Amino acid sequence: KNEVEQSPQNLTAQEGEFITINCSYSVGISALHWLQQHPGGGIVSLFMLSSGKKKHGRLIATINIQEKHSSLHITASHPRDSAVYICAVRSGTGNQFYFGTGTSLTVIP
Amino acid sequence: ETGVTQTPRHLVMGMTNKKSLKCEQHLGHNAMYWYKQSAKKPLELMFVYNFKEQTENNSVPSRFSPECPNSSHLFLHLHTLQPEDSALYLCASSRSLLAGEYNEQFFGPGTRLTVL
């Protein structure tokens, strides 16, 4: 079992829809990282979170440390949001990094 | 453009070849990472260097050999690889890597490696 689980694995949405991607983890963490990977491989950092909520443009990330859960929301989705979204954590004790398998998002015009 | 460059972007090699992957960061960071990404699998952390010292080696086979001559450059030397080593190899950097900290990582575009 992976220490980081993401859902859904695949998601198709119509342009303009509100999207939610979930990440659950089983270890105590120092922080959580949301990453975006476009076709071709390049990975871009979206958010680092250790508590609460962060917003950048149409993207919002939240984290609930007690429930060991984070969500990434995309408002007014656009085809350029099509990518794989990856959740990553670093454990607070063993300092290990754990990665989810990613959520593949396709936004249809 | 993330400030992290990798060369080559694509590499095809035979099992008896020796090749090297190069990573360079222009961000003034002190920690650098090598990751392997295989199809349908999570990112796998291979090696970490913090202030030029190797701090993690996650049970990586000895046919992969990292080198970090300074905080801006990271190499991955490859020799006698196997076909199952074919994957996307990603380099990343962060401000530093201290215990209990998770600093934002900036990734390079990756090297797509095919081992024949």
| pLDDT tens profile A26-79 | 998 888 999 999 887 789 999 999 999 999 999 999 999 999 999 999 999 999
Structure confidence at residue A92 (pLDDT): 78
Write out the two tokens for B94. 């962060």
Determine, for residues A41 and B40 on separate chains, whether the beta-carbon distance falls below 8 Å: no
Strand-strand pairing, B10-13 and B111-115: parallel
What percent of chain A shows pLDDT beyond 90?
Answer: 81
As a whole-number percent, the residues of chain A with pLDDT over 70 amount to: 98
Cβ proximity of B34 and B66 under 8 Å: yes
The pLDDT-based confidence of B58 (bands split at 50, 70, 90) is confident
Closest CA–CA distance from residue A60 to any residue of chain B (Å) = 17
Query: A27 — contact with chain B (CB < 8 Å)?
Result: no
| Predicted local confidence at residue B24, as pLDDT | 98
> What share of chain B in percent tops pLDDT 70?
100
pLDDT tens per residue, range B59-98 = 899 999 999 999 999 999 999 999 999 999 999 999 988 8
Closest CA to A97 of B88, B68, B36, B21: B36
Query: Angle A8-A11-A17 (CA atoms, 0-180°, nearest 5)?
Result: 120
Does the structure show a pLDDT above 80 at A82? yes
Mutation target to probe the B interface, by most B beta carbons within 10 A, among A95, A96, A104 is A95
Phi, psi of A91 (to 5 degrees): -65, 145
The answer, for B90 touching chain A at a CB cutoff of 8 Å, is: yes
What is the pLDDT of chain B when averaged over all its residues? 92
